[in-house]
């Protein structure tokens, strides 16, 4: 568990801005479905945003409401991510979802929507994390269940993801830019 952030027990974590484009609805509904079989597990949502109150109100009506924790924006979300069963990103769209890179950097498996741009590339077409179609509550809940029950090779995916982090190193990027200019 995460000592610095006083998190106890098993949990999934999502670091995202609380806005509609991050599709927090799918995440909440998938967790509620997952929770029916795993009532001791929690969901921590890390992030601020102008729709936080809307999502909190929605979550308050779910059966799993007591296991959903909105922690707000954090200067350092990494202790939450590092202690989680997995990190989840449920966006409808992304550009460069840096949070997936950061979760990989702390050795955490990512489960992400296969939205246009970003997650598929960062998660190596699914070799470095699990992908689901945007808005697919059942697929996300199944991925959560598979990870929680160890029916997927989490260690192998984390190893793939971690190994691939070198491509985001500034020295590698500068080499690529110089190569393009030449």
> How confident is the prediction along the chain (182 residues), in pLDDT tens digits per residue?
444 445 556 999 999 999 999 999 999 999 999 999 999 999 999 999 999 999 999 999 999 999 999 999 999 999 999 999 999 999 999 988 999 999 999 999 999 999 988 999 999 999 999 999 999 999 999 999 999 999 999 999 999 999 998 877 778 778 778 878 87
Torsion sign over Cα 47, 32, 7, 118: negative
Q: How far apart are CA 58 and CA 3, in angstroms?
A: 29
Confidence at residue 24, expressed as pLDDT on a 0 to 100 scale = 98
Beta strands across the sheet bearing 87-89: 68-72, 42-46, 11-15, 87-89, 110-113, 130-132
Confidence at residue 7, expressed as pLDDT on a 0 to 100 scale = 53
Confidence at residue 81, expressed as pLDDT on a 0 to 100 scale = 96
- The alpha carbons of the chain give a radius of gyration, in whole angstroms, of 16
Confidence at residue 104, expressed as pLDDT on a 0 to 100 scale = 95
Question: What is the reported pTM?
Answer: 0.90
Confidence at residue 110, expressed as pLDDT on a 0 to 100 scale = 98
Nearest to 55 by CA among 42, 70, 44: 70
Task: Please return the burial class of 182, using the count of CB atoms within 10 Å of its CB with bins 0-12, 13-18 and 19+.
Answer: exposed
Q: State how far the alpha carbon of 155 is from the alpha carbons of 7, 61, 151, 176, in Å.
A: 23, 35, 11, 30
Confidence at residue 52, expressed as pLDDT on a 0 to 100 scale = 97
Nearest to 55 by CA among 30, 28, 75, 80: 28
């Amino acid at each position: 568990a995460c000592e610095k952030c006083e998190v106890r027990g098993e949990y999934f974590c999502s670091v995202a801005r609380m806005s509609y484009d991050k599709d927090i609805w799918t995440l909440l509904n998938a967790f509620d479905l997952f929770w029916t079989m795993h009532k001791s597990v929690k969901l921590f949502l890390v992030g601020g945003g102008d729709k936080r109150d809307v999502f909190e109100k929605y979550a308050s009506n779910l059966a799993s409401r007591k296991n959903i924790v909105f922690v707000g924006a954090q200067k350092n979300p990494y202790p939450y991510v590092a202690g989680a069963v997995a990190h989840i990103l449920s966006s409808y769209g992304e550009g460069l979802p840096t949070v997936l890179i950061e979760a990989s950097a702390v050795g955490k498996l990512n489960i992400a929507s296969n939205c246009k741009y970003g997650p598929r590339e960062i998660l190596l077409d699914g070799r470095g994390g699990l992908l689901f179609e945007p808005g697919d509550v059942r697929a996300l809940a199944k991925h959560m269940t598979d990870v929680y029950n160890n029916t997927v090779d989490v260690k192998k995916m984390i190893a793939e993801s971690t190994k691939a982090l070198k491509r985001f190193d500034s020295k590698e990027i500068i080499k690529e830019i110089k190569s393009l200019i030449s």
